[in-house]
Amino acid sequence: MGLHVNQIKRYETGTSQPTLETLVRLAKELHVTLDELVFAEGERGPDTSFRMQFEALSGFSEEEKKIAKELLDILILKHAANRLSAGDAA
C-alpha cells in the first residue's frame, strides 16, 4: 500500500490521522467499507431492533421500497417537527 509500518503504528496509537485518500486505500486493500474502518461496531447503521425489518426490505419490489421509504420520510419529518415544536414551547 505504500505505507511504512511506523506510520501505521502512529495511526493505531492516535498520534497521527490518515488522510481520506489513505483511508480509501486501506479500505480497498482490506476489502472492507470506510464505515468499518472509521466507526466502532454498532455505532452506525440501524438499531438492532430494526435490522431485521431493514433486511426484509431487500426482498420488496421497487414500488414497495418506494412506499416504505416515503413512510419513513413522513415519520422522520413528523418526529423533527415534534422536536421543533417542543423546543418552541420550552
The yes-or-no verdict on residue 90 having pLDDT over 70 is no
**Phi/psi at 37 (5° precision):** -80, -35
pTM tops 0.75: no
Domain boundaries, the chain: 5-38, 48-89
d(Cα 82, Cα 78) in Å, to the nearest integer?
6
Q: For residue 1, what pLDDT is reported?
A: 73
pLDDT tens-digit profile of 24-73? 998 999 999 888 888 887 777 777 778 888 889 999 999 999 999 999 99
